[in-house]
A and B are shown apart, each in its own frame.
Chain A
Amino acid sequence: MMVNVIVLVKQVLQTADLKVDRTTKGIMTQGIPRVISETDKNAIEEAVRIKEKHGGKITAISMGPPEAKEALREALAMGADEACLLTDPQFDGSDSHATANVLAAAITKILDYDLVLCGAYSEDAFAFQVGPRIAEICNLPQLTYAAKLNFQGDKLIVERDLEDERQTVESKLPCLVTVGREINEPRLPTLMAIMAASKKPMKTWNAADLSLTADEIGFNGSLIEVLRSAVSVGERKRVMLQGQVKEIAPKLAKELVQEGVLKAS
């Protein structure tokens, strides 16, 4: 059984390198490298493993600025067969709802797929929204937080990692699955592989190509309006306990209880 997979890829700023401007309290984005969001890498890796096992075609889709081509090229280097960049100045300012509209339009246009894979969340927004919203728009069964995928006949068995429990669910195809970081260790393409991937087909679609109207996308299509962004600065208490372990351990426990970190028994 061949499985054609659409995998959704988001390019994000490398969050570890983000810095806050002390005066404006804004995030400094200058010179911060752009990378594929971690769980999306897991989604690509899972797509490639499915292809290695069952065969089929992988299409990677990303919505973003023209630079997001880099992310798609990396997805191609990891093993995707085709890529599709959804870019249009009109897409600027899209929240997860508007983003889901754009991606769903592209998925609908591609038509030929058995499975849509994406990361459970993106590393910059951590909203956990886009996957489920697309599933609703495309009327697909959704299986979120996947930690393991298995095909049985024409059914997909998914183990969901829900922190304090693990749930096994099944669905018929086509369906949409969001994956977490535990599902696999994504492969890392070499520079040569990324260069070689520039030979693979890459399409670019704008709002018109996707027949999207202005009220579905960008700021107009968004349900969320960002009023203000601020940086929360956690001040450390800088309490130092000194002395023999036997003496300071009860003191430390007492402090922690006072702070509400531990419960007194």
Chain B
Amino acid sequence: MPPLTYLFMYAIMSGFAAAFVYGFYRRLRVYFRGSALPRFDHIQDRVVRAIVNAFAQRKVVKKTYPGIMHLLIYSGIIVLFIGTTLVMTDNDFWQPLFHHQFLVGNFYLAFEFFLDAFGLVAIAGLIIALIRRVVSRPSNLPTSRDDIFIFSILLIILPTGYLLEGIRLAVDKPPWAPWSFIGYRVSLFLIGQGLVGPGIVTFYQGLWWFHALLAFIGVASIPYTKLFHLFTSPLNALFANRRPKGQLSTPFDLRELLASGSFDVKVGASAIGDFSWQQRLSFDSCTQCGRCTNACPATAAGTLLSPMHLILKLRNVMLAQSHADGGSLVLPDIVNPEELWACTTCRACVHECPVLIDHIDSIVDMRRHLVGEGKLDRGKRDLLNNLNNVSNPYGLPQADRMKWAEGLNLKTAKEQGDFEVLYWVGCSGSYDPRNQNVSRAMVKILRAANISFAVLGTEEKCNCEVARRFGEEGRFQQSAIELIELFKKYNVKTVLTQCPHCYNTFKNEYPEFGADFNVIHHSQFIEQLIKTGKLKLKPQSKGLVTFHDPCYLARYNSIIESPRNVISSLGIMGLREMPRSRENSFCCGAGGANFWYKVEKKKRVDAIRLEEAQQTGANIIATACPFCTSMLEDASVSAGTKDSVTVRDISELVADQIEAS
């Protein structure tokens, strides 16, 4: 190359570098406008999470085809970028400064080999990606201007790199040329075709500039295209909230507000400026991979909600308004409230997202705003009114809470005084006729195993899991404060529940408000009773069972094996798994308060799940959640399949087989 080439190159490069820095700054400015600084608590855990999720691609590779595709492009480009930077440093800085080079000897040979190999890796990844977008076209994978740009520029930069290397090797003919195994073949081809003539040097210089400029454009484009996820995904993994999966954010502490007497806090989000800086960063981390939307039950049911498109809408408003004062309203015009109400908070989206976006976090924040405005339709008002007036979502009198237990002679905590386990029946177990049967099965089990237990009776009231997910934070916290007080009064040490929603809220959300007791789900409890021999079952062949994993049990709380172990001990013919099971389970459609109001949809979520269950050939759908039981049984009645497939809670199956002592 001519003598001043490198000077020119660095001058031009600094221009592109400035564009890169400006683009970077522009986006960071949007995140940080008017809000608190990054979180640096538990920094070690955060760094580990960033390494595992961003650099080691933990979630990306969970989907085989796109996972491999991404891994190839990702590793190829990273190795080439590092390699090129090393060459630059060695030639243009190390050598002039220290009169010494480090890219020498065997290290250099290996270096050349690896660089050539990883170029191929990246090209292979790009070809797979191209086939995916052009030929196989999976659903919810939008191809944008960014994608075309990225394909074009990489598919020009990589081959021209090989061509440049080939010309260099053909002209210089160094003895180590075969180590650059692609470039070497290119050089042999050029020599064989008689292309290495006097004009080759000029051609080389032109091509070199072309290659370099494209590379600069590529790097400078990062903060202006979806390539920015190179930075946003590790940053999001670093700064995302560290709450337990089942714990929603806490926008205020009612106890503090009651103490201060001031209730003047803004709750919820209706504009971009109302989200935290980390939520804004997370919107910008989305790579439009579509995994969330493909897993979403609300999308499958044909509601207005698609988690990916929701996040993208928020991002577009955020970036378009980068010069405004951060207001940028999103409700109700950009985001339709119906999208938010369709969310069952099943967490399939969050579970899938490779860059750790917490869709539910933002959905609940927007619901909180809607609830704060108070403009709700009758079904939603009824839910809140019922919780306010009679402390249960069914709207049935508190006095009727123990009707299910008539004739059972249960002792309340007040009467019993001293007991091992508090059996928390829950609103569904108390009021819903279908689930009252589950409660009676539980009593049978508790008595057969000789457990000292008590119930709260008419002192029990909704723990307001549903209110929190609905967006009525104050109601939830008041309920938490009152119930924790009541549990303390009766010296409750262990709470047993058949409801995964109650379980999750007691376990993950109540401790923040001072709860200090163990929580055990009935699937774990029964598993222990069987394991320790306290409960003796007579094995009896009931047929084929499939187990429907409740979201709040499996995905939220990783309770996956316990219900299966219980089922296995029943002596059934076999346990057939549905394609979507365990932590990848598909929602029944009831979560996130969806049980309590109507959402416009094309197909019911429970009907979709019922079909999936029936395809296993099982004649019993076992589950471990009152709402799943209600939903799937309703679906079965609607589908007219009630005679061929029955929906049972695992406790009912167990109670049927208790050996009389």
Chain A residues within CB distance 8 Å of chain B: 14, 16-17, 19, 31-33, 35, 78, 185-193, 195-196, 199
Q: Which residues of B contact A188 (CB under 8 A)?
A: 374, 376, 381, 384-385
Closest CB of chain A to B372's CB: distance in Å? 6
Contact assessment for B399 and A191 in the assembled complex, using a CB-CB cutoff below 8 Å: no
Choice from A78, A191, A196 contacting B475 with Cβ under 8 Å: A191
Contact assessment for A187 and B475 in the assembled complex, using a CB-CB cutoff below 8 Å: no
Contact assessment for B395 and A193 in the assembled complex, using a CB-CB cutoff below 8 Å: no
Contact assessment for A187 and B375 in the assembled complex, using a CB-CB cutoff below 8 Å: yes
Contact assessment for A192 and B397 in the assembled complex, using a CB-CB cutoff below 8 Å: no
A-B contacts, 26 listed (Cβ < 8 Å):
A17-B390, A19-B397, A31-B399, A32-B397, A33-B390, A78-B374, A185-B375, A185-B376, A185-B377, A187-B374, A187-B376, A188-B385, A189-B374, A190-B374, A190-B472, A190-B473, A191-B475, A191-B478, A192-B263, A192-B267, A192-B474, A193-B263, A193-B372, A195-B258, A195-B263, A199-B261
Q: Which of A14, A31, A32, A191 has the most CB of B within 10 A?
A: A191
Interface residues of B in 362-389 (CB under 8 A from A): 371-378, 381, 384-385, 388-389
Closest CB of chain A to B38's CB: distance in Å? 29
Q: Which residues of B contact A78 (CB under 8 A)?
A: 374
Choice from B264, B371, B389, B397 contacting A190 with Cβ under 8 Å: B371
Choice from A19, A33, A185, A186 contacting B389 with Cβ under 8 Å: A33
Closest CB of chain A to B256's CB: distance in Å? 12
For the complex, what is the distance from the CA of A199 to the CA of B263, rounded to whole Å?
A: 9
Q: Which residues of B contact A186 (CB under 8 A)?
A: 381
Interface residues of B in 473-499 (CB under 8 A from A): 473-475, 478
Q: Which residues of A contact B377 (CB under 8 A)?
A: 185
Contact assessment for A196 and B397 in the assembled complex, using a CB-CB cutoff below 8 Å: no
Q: Which residues of A contact B614 (CB under 8 A)?
A: none
Closest CB of chain B to A56's CB: distance in Å? 20
Q: Which of B267, B390, B473 has the most CB of A within 10 A?
A: B390
Q: Which residues of B contact A16 (CB under 8 A)?
A: 395
Contact assessment for B473 and A192 in the assembled complex, using a CB-CB cutoff below 8 Å: yes
The 3 closest A-B CB pairs, nearest first, are A187-B374, A191-B474, A196-B263
Q: Which residues of A contact B252 (CB under 8 A)?
A: 192
Residue of A nearest to B265 (CB): A192
For the complex, what is the distance from the CA of A193 to the CA of B377, rounded to whole Å?
A: 18
Q: Does B110 contact A (CB under 8 A)?
A: no
Task: Apart from A17-B389, A190-B372, list 10 A-B contacts with CB within 8 A.
Answer: A185-B377, A187-B373, A188-B376, A188-B381, A188-B384, A189-B374, A190-B267, A190-B474, A191-B388, A192-B265
Q: Which of A32, A191, A192, A196 has the most CB of B within 10 A?
A: A192
Residue of A nearest to B396 (CB): A17
Interface residues of B in 241-282 (CB under 8 A from A): 252, 254, 257-258, 261, 263-265, 267
Q: Which residues of B contact A199 (CB under 8 A)?
A: 261, 263
Contact assessment for A191 and B398 in the assembled complex, using a CB-CB cutoff below 8 Å: no
Q: Which residues of A contact B388 (CB under 8 A)?
A: 33, 191
| A14-B389, A33-B389 given; A193·B398 CB < 8 A | no
Q: Which residues of B contact A189 (CB under 8 A)?
A: 374
Chain B residues within CB distance 8 Å of chain A: 252, 254, 257-258, 261, 263-265, 267, 371-378, 381, 384-385, 388-390, 395, 397-399, 472-475, 478
For the complex, what is the distance from the CA of A191 to the CA of B389, rounded to whole Å?
A: 12
Contact assessment for A193 and B389 in the assembled complex, using a CB-CB cutoff below 8 Å: no
Q: Which residues of B contact A187 (CB under 8 A)?
A: 373-376
Residue of B nearest to A187 (CB): B374
Closest CB of chain A to B471's CB: distance in Å? 9
Q: Which of B258, B375, B377 has the most CB of A within 10 A?
A: B375
Choice from B267, B395, B398, B474 contacting A31 with Cβ under 8 Å: B398
Closest CB of chain A to B252's CB: distance in Å? 8
Q: Which residues of A contact B474 (CB under 8 A)?
A: 190-192, 195
Q: Which residues of A contact B258 (CB under 8 A)?
A: 195
Closest CB of chain A to B467's CB: distance in Å? 9
Contact assessment for A196 and B264 in the assembled complex, using a CB-CB cutoff below 8 Å: yes
Q: Which residues of A contact B475 (CB under 8 A)?
A: 190-191
Q: Which of A35, A186, A195 has the most CB of B within 10 A?
A: A195
For the complex, what is the distance from the CA of A16 to the CA of B395, rounded to whole Å?
A: 9
Q: Which residues of B contact A185 (CB under 8 A)?
A: 375-378, 381
| A190-B474, A191-B472, A195-B263 given; A31·B374 CB < 8 A | no
Q: Which residues of B contact A35 (CB under 8 A)?
A: 385, 389
Q: Which residues of A contact B373 (CB under 8 A)?
A: 187
Q: Which residues of A contact B254 (CB under 8 A)?
A: 192
Q: Which residues of A contact B374 (CB under 8 A)?
A: 78, 187-190, 193
Closest CB of chain A to B36's CB: distance in Å? 22
Residue of B nearest to A18 (CB): B397
Closest CB of chain B to A137's CB: distance in Å? 33
Closest CB of chain A to B369's CB: distance in Å? 11
For the complex, what is the distance from the CA of A199 to the CA of B260, rounded to whole Å?
A: 12
Closest CB of chain A to B374's CB: distance in Å? 3
Residue of A nearest to B372 (CB): A190
For the complex, what is the distance from the CA of A32 to the CA of B395, rounded to whole Å?
A: 12
Closest CB of chain B to A65's CB: distance in Å? 18
For the complex, what is the distance from the CA of A31 to the CA of B257, rounded to whole Å?
A: 28
Closest CB of chain B to A180's CB: distance in Å? 15
Closest CB of chain A to B341's CB: distance in Å? 15
Q: Which residues of B contact A195 (CB under 8 A)?
A: 257-258, 263, 474
Q: Which residues of A contact B399 (CB under 8 A)?
A: 31
For the complex, what is the distance from the CA of A196 to the CA of B475, rounded to whole Å?
A: 14
Residue of B nearest to A33 (CB): B389
For the complex, what is the distance from the CA of A196 to the CA of B472, rounded to whole Å?
A: 15
For the complex, what is the distance from the CA of A191 to the CA of B480, rounded to whole Å?
A: 13
Q: Which of B267, B374, B475 has the most CB of A within 10 A?
A: B374
Q: Which residues of A contact B478 (CB under 8 A)?
A: 191
Choice from A31, A191, A193 contacting B397 with Cβ under 8 Å: A31
Q: Which residues of A contact B376 (CB under 8 A)?
A: 185, 187-188
Residue of B nearest to A78 (CB): B374
Closest CB of chain B to A165's CB: distance in Å? 26
Residue of B nearest to A77 (CB): B374
For the complex, what is the distance from the CA of A35 to the CA of B472, rounded to whole Å?
A: 19
For the complex, what is the distance from the CA of A31 to the CA of B252, rounded to whole Å?
A: 31
Closest CB of chain B to A194's CB: distance in Å? 8
Closest CB of chain B to A79's CB: distance in Å? 9
